[in-house]
Structure 1
Amino acid sequence: MTEAQQQLPELPDMLAVEPVIITKDGKPVMVALSLQQFESLLETLDILSDREFMAQLREGIQQADAGETISLEQLKAELGF
């Protein structure tokens, strides 16, 4: 915590790279994130909480793993491009 206070002016630059784990007495007690990282985390949580989307994503992954794919040219033809 003391080190975090001393490094506060540099914290925004540090957070631009990755989150920072802040410790107290050598034990993690909090995480500092940039606003961009925080917004990204919220967006990820929103996506993961969409049951319908996640079901479709899992199905798509299973299809890809099973080799059930089509080429870009086939997709364009099916869509009329």
Structure 2
Amino acid sequence: MSIQSLAAVKAHFSQVIDEVAGTHERVTVTKNGSPVAVILAVEDYESLMETLEILSDPRAGTEIRRAEEEMAAGKVYGEAAVRAALAARRR
């Protein structure tokens, strides 16, 4: 993540946008030395929003914890079993 002043971002806005979109690096924009905004790629923003949505759902949190406990206990599935389960869902 880089930190740039508002003046620098304004002077090279198109370049900053291209860099953010191409590298997925965030840019923190400062005004009078204080951070005031962050520029990030749309894909990264959407990913953050999806993560927040999942984490705010208590049922999803419970399912994630249960899955982690099952993995820690060695209850895992191989590729063939996963493919078979997915194929069964499609029917």
TM-score (ref. length: structure 2): 0.67
Query: How high is the sequence identity, in percent, across the aligned residues?
Result: 31
Secondary structure at 2:38 match in 1:
strand
Gaps of at least 5 residues in structure 1 are none
Structure 2 alignment gaps of length 5 or more: 1-5
Q: Distance in 1 between matches of 2:77 and 2:12?
A: 52
Match of 1:36 among 11, 27, 43: 43
Q: Is 1:13 matched with 2:32? A: no
Distance 1:8 1:70, change over 3 A: closer
- Number of residue-to-residue matches in the alignment: 79
TM-score after normalising by structure 1: 0.74
Root-mean-square deviation (CA, aligned residues, Å) is: 2.4
Q: Equivalent residue for 1:26?
A: 33
Match of 2:7 in 1: 2
Partner of 1:53: 60
| DSSP-derived class of the 1:23 partner | strand
Q: Which amino acid aligns with 1:4?
A: V
